[in-house]
Amino acid sequence: MSDTTKYFLTEDRMPKAWYNLAADLPGPVAPPVHPGTGQPMGPEDLAPLFPMGVLEQEVSQERWIDIPEPVREVYRLWRPSPLIRARRLEKALGTPAKIFFKYEGVSPAGSHKPNTAVAQAFYNQQEGITKLSTETGAGQWGSSLAFAGDIFGLEVEVYMVRISYNQKPYRRALMETYGATCIPSPSPNTAAGRAILEKDPDSNGSLGIAISEAVEIAASRDDTKYALGSVLNHVCLHQTVIGEEAMLQMEMADSEPDIVIGCCGGGSNFAGLAFPYMREKLKGKAIRFIGVEPTSCPTLTKGPMAYDFGDTGKLTPLMKMYTLGSGFMPPGTHAGGLRYHGMAPMVSSALEYGLMEARSYQQTECFTAAVQFARNEGIVPAPESSHAIKAVMDEALRCKAEGKAETILFNLSGHGHFDMQAYTDYFAGKMTDVPFDDAALQASLADLPKVAV
Amino acid sequence: MSDTTKYFLTEDRMPKAWYNLAADLPGPVAPPVHPGTGQPMGPEDLAPLFPMGVLEQEVSQERWIDIPEPVREVYRLWRPSPLIRARRLEKALGTPAKIFFKYEGVSPAGSHKPNTAVAQAFYNQQEGITKLSTETGAGQWGSSLAFAGDIFGLEVEVYMVRISYNQKPYRRALMETYGATCIPSPSPNTAAGRAILEKDPDSNGSLGIAISEAVEIAASRDDTKYALGSVLNHVCLHQTVIGEEAMLQMEMADSEPDIVIGCCGGGSNFAGLAFPYMREKLKGKAIRFIGVEPTSCPTLTKGPMAYDFGDTGKLTPLMKMYTLGSGFMPPGTHAGGLRYHGMAPMVSSALEYGLMEARSYQQTECFTAAVQFARNEGIVPAPESSHAIKAVMDEALRCKAEGKAETILFNLSGHGHFDMQAYTDYFAGKMTDVPFDDAALQASLADLPKVAV
């Protein structure tokens, strides 16, 4: 079996618990605070938006949290996901490094997002909720929650940024296939939407507006809660099923990673693979962690650690995180899932505690890496995942230069079958790199909320 | 493990040989004949188009043909593919039947097509060929050959029906990602293309024209051969890796199929799953086989068994098969892969020998079945595969009515992520059923070549 390429766990070995890094970090993760009072907010303050099962996880210090059996049953539709050794890529690069990846593109929606969507839908259903509202940009999260809601009998209302709604009809069709209602935002359904439409009936919308609409819907109806696809502690928690599986599979491959790599938008796919291995690092194992982000939205590499709003509309509690400022508008790139001004507080803590490194790349070099990956391994990566691949290749080439046979493990968080327009632009020479706008960052940071905590 | 959902084979158990049903059929499969002379054609007659490694397989009577190790190495990028039990669908239907499916959508191109593309690229490379030409309609085959050619260092030139080239840019982008050249057909590259363009510079093209172009390119260049994605004996042979794997996985599930189901366009995905089980039927096991086709292109259910051309342009040798006549133009439907006037001679023989049944469905009822499948099992099926799913559901409901706990196995030949326009049309109520055109069939059959054999 020494030349095995894919490592599959049998379903009985699928992890029975999620891992909570908060139990092992050197210090606490700062709590969210109320933007008006500066007071820490607890689960009860967020109860109008989220079910208690999720809010308890949000603040939990327990190391292990059981995955409910109904969630595991749905996970079994695609989990455990494969661990794959990129042997052909290794050979093409001529590197002595071993490259492994965990492939999350096998899920129904094509990315890691259903890992938390299914859990969130379950806890809502348990508490008698019959409807979920959420926002989506490119549609990865919306289609994942649509799938999860369908499984647990919940109606799902997705507010989709209008320009994406018009430009990405296939993602919308996927949401509708799973029975969700997809509404172009801004919409007349909410006060937030109506206010925008009054000023500009042809508004293209923005993720900030869509969040405001989804939150308003949830806050105003007893039977409806809101669901978020990244950033929050419970989302990172649910994603750790990725890393826990990977550990068992790396054992099957008689390997241990020297480097763990993931792309970082809100932080959840990186957290999912990395956090279980950070537990081992905190016990003394020498493992490097690299979070990879776009140069055009360099939260971890250029932002300060500060309390900030989670959304553009300044409706959310303040979270302590690396941030470019909630007013920072990341330029349009093909990696829509990495265009977020902040970073998960738990990932931010990991960087602050020196557990990980961060680096950024331009999109064109990421697509060059993605195409080389596809030509060797067959899988066409999502634009977001291509950032991780670029870092993997750079590390593999460093290993070659240094003659080191290190083991690299990364998260291939999704496939690119819904993102082929990006590849079309790349081949047509129409893809441009977006320089980082420091003036915009400084202006945005000047507007950070003043919080004394 | 009694509640296991997915059955994975370790790579060391991946089949080492393809199975050739020709060795076990009650009689010979009729050879191709020359349209002018009516004489049987052998490998040497087809040598300008295909490599000898493939042509030997085309006429082989050997029961087992070894899968070359370099082909198995590439197969390992995604094979063995999973066998999945559709437990949630069973429950939703309330059927005592057990439903299993082999999922071929995990391949790089998203369907079963790479199973033969990789083998064909390998044999061509072995014989010093440096370039492959082929045609593609919707793009499934073109992207599979692009992937395979890339792996074995062959240039691939894909003649894509112009209307699809314009309407399906994402499939084209996938081909380009794998390094292939995609040319809208009719093109100025060939005499066949130029002749059409002279008459109609804005021609939308057709599969018949694209085949003519690809064949002309291969016939006129020493370094170039042609590759076909279905119909031929060697293509059916290569696909049997599906059924051989399925047998081992059904053993893991302690199950044996009572019914094996696949959709039929050219016949290769059906053959791939069914032929290994037909071997067991010929040894005495009671297994039913159902080939499923669109009502609008009912080759197996309405066509006669006759010698006919493989292409609209009447350039190919004559093959004995169920056919609607090479002049029959199947109406436009979303299942582009099932719009073929003929059927693989080996599948045709299986039907003639009474080894299988055939039935047809309208596309709307197939999409209704596909959506129900997606809402229960997560996977969004390709429009072609939805035909198999409709038959599976009908059989499962029959089992319910009769109180029979039969075991149904089908081939989910591909995912629908590149076909979401079809789902959009379905939800928008824009999908119409196409009545079968009997007058067109009679006209087409009147034009069948007269061959005395």
Query: Which residue in A has a C-alpha nearest to residue B423's C-alpha?
Result: A173
B56-78 burial: b if 16+ Cβ within 10 Å, else e: ebbbbeeeebebeebbbbbbbbb
Query: Which residue in A has a C-alpha nearest to residue B108's C-alpha?
Result: A378
A399-416 burial: b if 16+ Cβ within 10 Å, else e: bbeeeeebbbbbbbbbbb
| β-bridge mates for residue A181, sequence order | A157
pLDDT digits (tens, 9 = 90+) for B171-212: 999 999 999 999 999 999 999 999 999 999 999 888 888 999
Partners of B182 on chain A (C-beta within 8 Å) are none
Query: Which residue in A has a C-alpha nearest to residue B424's C-alpha?
Result: A173
**CB distance A77–B1 less than 8 Å?**
no
pLDDT digits (tens, 9 = 90+) for A175-199: 999 999 999 999 999 999 999 999 9
CB-CB neighbours of A328 under 10 Å: 22
Partners of A371 on chain B (C-beta within 8 Å) are 177
Instruction: Check residue A415 and report its DSSP letter.
Output: B
* Res. A1: pLDDT tops 80: no
| Domains, chain B | 6-109+232-427 (3.40.50.1100), 114-226 (3.40.50.1100)
Q: Are B54 and B132 in contact (CB under 8 A)?
A: no
pLDDT digits (tens, 9 = 90+) for A433-452: 988 889 999 999 999 998 86
CA-CA distance, B97 to B87, in Å (whole number)? Answer: 10
**CB distance B420–A176 less than 8 Å?**
no
- Bond into A186 cis (ω within 30): yes
Partners of A107 on chain B (C-beta within 8 Å) are 378
Q: Say which of B4, B78, B417 has its CB closest to residue A110.
A: B417
Partners of A424 on chain B (C-beta within 8 Å) are 169-170, 172-173, 176
Query: Which residue in A has a C-alpha nearest to residue B379's C-alpha?
Result: A108
Cα Rg of chain A, angstroms: 21
Name the average pLDDT for chain A. Answer: 95
pLDDT digits (tens, 9 = 90+) for B103-117: 999 999 999 999 999
Token pair 């890691």 in the structure block, residue: A112
CA distance B87 to chain A (A): 9
Distances (CA, A) of A227 to A33, A214, B376: 19, 9, 22
pLDDT digits (tens, 9 = 90+) for B231-278: 999 999 999 999 999 999 999 999 999 999 999 999 999 999 999 999
A194-207 burial: b if 16+ Cβ within 10 Å, else e: eebbeeeeebbbbb
CA distance A289 to chain B (A): 26
**ipTM of the complex, rounded to two decimals:** 0.95
Q: Residues in chain A, how many? A: 453
**CB distance A110–B174 less than 8 Å?**
no
Partners of B151 on chain A (C-beta within 8 Å) are 88
**Hey, is the C-beta of A168 within 8 angstroms of any chain B C-beta?**
no
**A52-59 and A233-252 helices, crossing angle to 10°:** 70
Cα Rg of chain B, angstroms: 21
Query: Which residue in A has a C-alpha nearest to residue B177's C-alpha?
Result: A371
Q: Say which of A6, A147, A173 has its CB closest to residue B424.
A: A173
**CB distance B169–A5 less than 8 Å?**
no
Give the max Cα distance, chain A.
65
Low-confidence spans in chain B with pLDDT less than 50: 1
The SS3 assignment for A53 reads helix
Find the helix or strand (DSSP H, E) in which A17 lies: strand A17-19
pLDDT digits (tens, 9 = 90+) for B154-175: 999 999 999 889 888 899 999 9
Query: Which residue in A has a C-alpha nearest to residue B375's C-alpha?
Result: A178
**CB distance B173–A424 less than 8 Å?**
yes
* Res. A323: pLDDT tops 60: yes
User: What is the rounded average pLDDT of the residues A55-59?
Assistant: 97
**Hey, is the C-beta of A77 within 8 angstroms of any chain B C-beta?**
yes
The SS3 assignment for A341 reads coil
Give the pLDDT score at A39. Answer: 93
CB-CB neighbours of B148 under 10 Å: 32
**Hey, is the C-beta of B13 within 8 angstroms of any chain A C-beta?**
no
